[in-house]
Structure 1
Amino acid sequence: MKESKMNEVYINKIAKFLPNEPIGNDQMESYLGKINDRESKARRIVLRNNGITTRYYALSSDGRPTHTNAQLTAEAVRGLFDERFKSTDMELLSCGTSSPDFLMPSHAVMVHGELGNRNVEVNSAAGNCCAGMNALKYGYLSVKSGNTKNAVCTGSERMSSWMVADHFSKEVENLKQLEEQPILAFNKDFLRWMLSDGAGAFLLENSPQGDFSLRIEWMEGYSYAHELDVCMYAGADKMPDGSLRSFSDYSSEEWLSESIFAVKQDTKMLDKFILVKGVDSMKQAMEKNGVTPDDIDYLLPHVSSHYFVDGLYNGFAEAGIEISRNKWFTNLKDVGNVGAGSVYLMLEELLHTKELKKGQHILLCVPESARFTYAYAYLTVC
């Protein structure tokens, strides 16, 4: 049997959708509400450490939802369509998110329902921040193998509806501890001042098209779940032995009284492992593919907070893979942490704010604290 030749895969168009108007730090609590009718003492400290100044919510000013996650994603996807690539040309829709609108049906089929274009293959990638990269890899492998000629891949979040005040039980805030060690703010209240809504979409094809193309050279993923317990979770509670107890094993009364559906994070684990495993996985990906820091023109790291940037840079340097800070590109300050959508939104902004030159290389770097998973993609400007 004749061996099939693998296709090259190109990102030929990028689109985004950010709902409503940007929201400043002083406006946040009016949208999300106050827990127990009290202003958060931690908010200003958390915001000072994460470095975010504006973000986007799919909420009205009085806290009512304006879009579903599926609607946000569909709006981003529609931005890919034009005279050359129509909605009916799409062969595969691959969507990643950590905040789907429903437990079932899947996120991708709901996005497909919003688009209403034609019968297509769909794939839903679940999880946390790496869900967007996992959706991208599915589309990448489909086009590379020749299963489809194109794929639309997305990353999105609508976390604002999870963050409104009446979803949270009373929290005890220790201001002195937050001042002395900012990592302690990474709990339920921290996440209220971090997470943002939005969606990004890539069009993947098997040949370069249009004014720009980014060829995907390789993608790598690493999980450390074999050695580390869960760090970030929702719809569960963590037991003393580190195991998770599912929402389905709690009574409906406990769902509310125990804040079972609130997003939670084990701050001690986060502080201990997120950077260490990020450096380890980054080095593995670079060595496996023969890439050195000199082969990277732009590094797009999805960092949840500017608190981590210096530590990550120093970790790379100590591991012998120092990437000069002038190569780093993020938009966390203006867009916020959009989880699975962040890397899509970063790449879209890079293309519109930098003069990219043919032959330059871009490395996408996405960590996920849920159980310490990391994803990478290496792109060449064509």
Structure 2
Amino acid sequence: MNRSVYITKLASYYPNEPVANDDIEKFLGLINDQPSKARPLILRNNQIKKRFYSFDREGKTTHTNTNLTRLAIEKLFDDKFKQQDMQLLSCGTTTPDQMLPPHAAMVHGEMGGHPVEINTAAGSCSAGIQALKFGYLSVLSGNTTNAVCTGSDRFSKWMQAKFFKEEAEKVSMLEGGDGMIAFEKDFLRFMLSDGAAAVLLEDKPNPDKLSLRIDWIEQKSYAHELPACMYYGAVKDENGNFIGWNDLEQQQWAGESAFALKQDTKLLGEFIVKKGGEFMKELVTKHNIDVENLTYFLPHLSSQYFASRIAKELEVLNIDIPSSKWFTNLTWVGNVGAASPLLMLEELFNSGRMKKGDTIWMMIPESARFNYGYVMLTVV
């Protein structure tokens, strides 16, 4: 099979004006009317300066996840590629607006237009890449000649103080303290952001401007070895057993913040870099990657804290990628989950910095239950 798949256009959408660090709790609210004790430490480690929220200062919603995704997709359409030309819509997200219908169906419904094949990828940070791979395989196989793939997330509403109110009161009564919510939850509150990225895949490159040829997309899960690390719609009991929302009593949903996004930071720190490095080393051998001649390395970082740890792991693995080749936009857009890898790529692609022959290696770690994605691209 002598076929290739090309990224011919990328677009992004961020809601409202960026929110600076000093304004975070003005938007999200104070838990138990107390500023977070962990906030200064978390912000110092993640080095995020700005993020985007899909609601205003009064807490009124301005965008749904479906809205964000549609608005990013619409930027792909022009005289050369119209909405009616789209054959496949593949959408990845962590934070759908509802459990059912699936996210891609809601996006298609809001867009209107004509019948298309749809696919929804559910997960956390790698969901956007899973959506991209579905589109890539469709075009590669000849099932379609194009695909629109997206990554999007709207975490901000989940991070509002009102969703932690009952748990904070419960902790305060039990411990006689200030009702401080666990560091694992604050860790995410001051990191996450909202936005969407959209990618157009076609079976031919742009005739008059640069495109990205997808050389390969590889993914691997380590869920068989490791427990859940980031989760929502569930809790862990005192023995670490995982209990889904439908096995909880209704009062536990609010009382234990079952639907709040949670992160086991100890588990994260112990395994997220290590397992990603194992897979990376395998791929260097499998694809005979010339690491020295890579042009760009795009690691998805949930926090800048992990950059130095990844660099040390690469040194141990003898994979030399100097910091001058790294490209991230975490500091000025925040961690947008499933959208982040594609938002990085979109910014680089539209920056005017790339030239034919450049190579781009993307790394997407997902801590939910340790799934990893890697993408190799060549500028053509």
Partner SS state of residue 199, structure 2: strand
- Give the superposition deviation at 1:185: 8.0
- The separation in 1 between residues aligned to 2:267 and 2:226, in whole angstroms, is 9
How far, CA to CA, are the matches of 2:242 and 2:306 in structure 1?
27
| Structure 1 segment 284-295 matched on structure 2, within 5 A | 284-295=282-293
Could you tell me which residue of structure 2 aligns to residue 190 of structure 1? 187
Task: Return the alpha-carbon distance in structure 1 between the equivalents of residues 238 and 86 of structure 2.
Answer: 48
* 1: CA distance, partners of 2:302 / 2:162: 24
Secondary structure at the aligned position of 1:199 is classed as: strand
Aligned residues: 368
CA contact (8 A) 1:6 1:144 kept: no
Q: How far apart, in 2, do the equivalents of 1:39 and 1:265 lie? A: 20
Kindly report which structure 2 residues correspond to 1:55-70, keeping only aligned pairs within 5 A, or say none. 55-70=51-66
Contact 1:149 1:206 in 2 (8 A): yes
**Aligned partner of 1:12 among 2, 8, 11:** 8
Give the Å deviation of 1:353. Answer: 2.9
Matches within 5 A, 1:95-114: 95-114=91-110
Question: Which residue of structure 2 lines up, in the alignment, with residue 320 of structure 1?
Answer: 318
CA offsets per residue over residues 141-196 of structure 1, 9 Å max, x none?
A: 000000000000000000001000011122989xxxxxxxxxx9861011110000
How much has 1:240 moved relative to structure 2? Answer: 4.0
Look up the equivalent residue of 2:277 and give its one-letter code: V
Which of 354, 357, 364 lines up with 2:355 in the alignment? 357
Q: 1:225 aligns with which of 213, 217, 223?
A: 223
- Of residues 132, 135, 149, the one that matches 1:136 is 132
Of 268, 271, 281, 2:269 maps to 271
Query: Letter of the aligned partner of 2:335 in structure 1?
Result: N
| Secondary structure in structure 2 of the residue aligned to 1:203 | strand
Partner of 1:207: 204
**1:242 Cα offset (Å):** 3.5
- Report the TM-score when normalising by structure 2: 0.94
Q: How far did 1:273 drift? A: 0.4
Q: Is the 8 A contact 2:292 2:320 kept in 1?
A: no
Give the stretch that moved more between structures: 344-353 or 105-114: 344-353
| CA deviation profile, 1:295-325 (whole Å, cap 9, x unmatched) | 4110000000011100101101101112111
Once the two structures are superposed, the pairs formed by residues 1-382 of structure 1 within 5 Å of their partners are: 5-168=1-164, 169-170=167-168, 187-209=184-206, 210-382=208-380
RMSD, matched Cα = 1.5
Q: Residues of 2 paired with 1:87 and 1:34: CA distance?
A: 43
SS in 2 for 1:187: helix
- What is the deviation of 1:286? 2.1
TM value normalised by structure 1: 0.94
Q: Please give the secondary structure, in 1, of the residue aligned with 2:252.
A: helix
1:16–1:345 Cα contact (<8 Å) kept: yes
Instruction: Write the distance in 1 (CA, Å) between the matches of 2:282 and 2:238.
Output: 33
**Equivalent position amino acid for 1:48 in 2:** R
The alpha-carbon deviation at position 211 of structure 1 amounts to 1.5
SS in structure 2 of the partner of residue 353 of structure 1: coil
Once residues 230 and 144 of structure 1 are traced to their aligned partners in structure 2, the CA distance between those partners, rounded to angstroms, is: 33
Q: CA deviation at 1:292?
A: 2.8
